[in-house]
Amino acid sequence: MDATTHPPAPVNEPNLTYAPGSPERAGLEAALVDLEGTEHDLSAVVGGERRTGGGREIRVVQPHDHQHLLGTIRSASTADAEAAVGAAADAAPEWRAMSLDARCAVILKAADLLAGPWRQRINAATMLGQSKTAFQAEIDAACELIDFWRFNVHFARQIVADQPIANSPGVWNRSDHRPLEGFVYAITPFNFTAIAGNLPTAPALMGNTVLWKPSPTQQLAASLTMQLLEEAGMPPGVINMLPGDGLDVSEVALAHPDLAGIHFTGSTPTFQHLWQQVGANISGYRSYPRIVGETGGKDFIVAHPSADPDVLRVAMLRGAFEFQGQKCSAASRAYVPRSVWAQVRDRLVADTEALSVGDVTDLSHFMGAVIDDRAFAKHRTALERAHATDGLDVVAGGTTDDSTGYFVRPTVVEGSDPTDEMFTTEYFGPILAVHVFEDADFERVVRGMESSAPYALTGAVIARDRRAIEWVQRELRFTAGNFYVNDKPTGAVVGQQPFGGARASGTNDKAGAPSNLMRWTSPRSIKETFVAPTDHRYPHMG
Ligand SMILES: NC(=O)c1ccc[n+]([C@@H]2O[C@H](COP(=O)([O-])OP(=O)(O)OC[C@H]3O[C@@H](n4cnc5c(N)ncnc54)[C@H](O)[C@@H]3O)[C@@H](O)[C@H]2O)c1
Ligand SMILES: N[C@@H](CCC=O)C(=O)O
């Protein structure tokens, strides 16, 4: 309960530029060469020991150069998962008894290691394994993860310092922010190294022990993150990493009486499947598992007739195509009045066609490849359908090429029917659907957007008319957990725009915020009476 000391105050980590000639660019290029040259050890880590999983093999390749092997995973088996549950249970008593200062120190050291000596290694791993450009790797693997760690320390201390505000005479009330009883199961997505690092460490900071199942396509950066945490002093068994497809791990973890929570980020169907499994097993748990999940999106930009066309164009280009549209926050549908579209269309098409797509180790590219063959096939099918469907007009991009890497050209599709699947289905790729409408129909179109997709993650309004901004904000209040005015709907910053959405987009517990950390504590209220009564009778009894 020691939250009275003063660790360094959190400040957002500045983004390095990687401009030609900069020292960070030289460091990054050296790290890329170093990591590309070898096949990496992607073993499980259970109780601090490396362990070759007993399950099926998964090849981890560079998405932009799919013949280039980075390493091979042996998926964790049920025996590996059982060993991890045991290691988490063994580590729990000492970890939860440790002072909050000690746990914070581990996390703050991890942040400083990542800001310093580990920065380019983990950035390079994120570029090679997830096909992020230097800038996209920097804002994710370095800055956002450093921010998660530093701000979470600050928020954890606020939570522990939050104590009852009233004491009756002769009484002292206290709150004991206990960790959960059992282990937390953290399951992380391919697209953000920061999310992969945050999901196991947030519950650990609050005193829990964790089973961490990273995404196979993020495993290189995940393995390095695990090494960094060990160097920072994370004790063995507090976080147990189980690579692979997760099927055997879930078989053990979701049926185990000690499952205390799930910390998930990924697709909506996977999250719903996990929740169903928990529901099916509900009578077998010691406690009701906390279920936190941030999931899919179909994120929008809506322009008002007063919109600045340049602001709209840049919001579309960056919002839809950075990291190949593989951010849960990526703009994948836009609604644009005809008068504004007339000023935006040609330049948007020209700029989209000019975006360079390629091997991200060539730092001149704006985009890399999509994550794997499955994603590639899904996007190719969506584009074939767009080319073949009346009412859909592919005005930029629309082509794919997987001869060397999983490349999908950034694509703009004009669609006359806003109920077409282009406007409702999450493809999770660089495909932006645009619905052009008559200016006079603005209010009708916005009202239709309220329920046109099942998600509610991010959205943006582009307008100069203040009344329009206010009206859209009110009308679309429940359509986005993160709402942007005159900006792209991506790029939330920890401590500034707490991130998460509702409806089919998740439980909206807001990653990197006190509300998330609260889910990993089970408070105990303690009342101490200094001079206790010694007579059971009340005055009214005479
Ligand atoms: N809302 C957010 O904050 C947020 C952030 C990032 C990504 N996402 C969403 O994530 C999705 C993309 O990520 P993805 O492709 O990695 O998602 P995914 O659902 O395919 O996989 C997520 C994780 O779940 C694992 N998994 C799948 N089935 C499992 C099972 N039965 N047991 C255990 N683990 C299992 C995967 O291996 C992976 O580690 C998109 O839908 C995107 O919108 C959301
Ligand atoms: N927080 C990130 C998205 C994370 C999901 O992929 C953003 O705001 O762009």
Instruction: Report pLDDT for 62.
Output: 98
Smallest-distance ligand from the CA of 426: 1
Mean pLDDT of 236-247: 98
Query: Phi and psi dihedrals of 49, rounded to 5?
Result: -100, 140
Q: Counting ligands in written order, which one lies closest to the CA of residue 249?
A: 1
Phi-psi region of 51 (alpha: psi -120 to 50; beta: other; left: phi over 0): beta
330 CA to centre of ligand 2 in angstroms: 8
CA 140 – ligand 2 centroid, Å: 9
pLDDT value at residue 244 = 98
The β-bridge relationship of strands 411-415 and 392-396 is antiparallel
The 10s digit of each residue's pLDDT in 474-519 is 999 999 999 999 999 999 999 999 999 999 999 999 999 999 999 9
Residue 231: predicted pLDDT: 98
The pair phi, psi for residue 222, each rounded to 5°, is -65, -45
For a mutational test of ligand 2's pocket, the pick from 199, 301, 327, i.e. the residue with the most ligand atoms closer than 8 A to its C-beta, is 327
pLDDT greater than 90 at residue 116: yes
Which has the closest alpha carbon to 320: 398, 410, 404?
Answer: 410
CA 216 remoteness from chain centre: 15
Ligand 1 atom nearest residue 505's Cα: 1
Residue 4: the pLDDT is 79
Using a pLDDT cut of 70, give the percent of the chain over it: 99
Ligand 1, atom 16, lies closest to the CA of 189
Residue 117 burial (CB count, 10 A): 11
Catalytic residue among 322, 328, 414, 426: 328
Pocket residues: Cβ below 6 A from ligand 1: 187-192, 195, 213-215, 245-247, 249-250, 265-267, 270, 273, 294-297, 328, 426, 428, 457, 499-501, 505-506
| Residue 260 phi, psi dihedral angles, 5° rounding | -105, -20
143 classed as catalytic: no
Contacting residues for 273 by C-beta, under 8 A, at least 6 apart: none
Q: What is the pLDDT of residues 2-50, one digit of tens each?
A: 667 999 999 999 999 999 999 999 999 999 999 999 999 999 999 999 9
pLDDT of residue 238: 99
Rounded distance between C-alpha atoms, residue 375 and residue 361, angstroms:
21
Mean pLDDT, the chain, whole residue set? 98
Q: Considering every ligand atom, which ligand is closest to the CA of 266?
A: 1
Q: What is the mean pLDDT of residues 213-242?
A: 98
- Ligand 2 centroid–CA 33 distance in Å is 28
Q: In terms of DSSP H, where are the helices of 450-485?
A: 466-475
Catalytic residue among 144, 294, 414, 426: 294
Instruction: Name the token pair of 107.
Output: 């996390």
For a mutational test of ligand 2's pocket, the pick from 132, 215, 328, i.e. the residue with the most ligand atoms closer than 8 A to its C-beta, is: 328
For residue 104, indicate whether it is catalytic: no
**For range 445-455, the mean pLDDT:** 97
For residue 457, give the ligand nearest its CA: 1
* pLDDT given at position 2: 60
Distances (CA, A) of 307 to 321, 400, 434, 495: 21, 32, 15, 29
> Ligand 2: distance of its center to the CA of 193 in Å?
11
Give, for ligand 2, the residue of 487, 490, 496 to mutate: max count of ligand atoms closer than 8 Å to Cβ. 490
Q: What is the pTM of this model?
A: 0.98
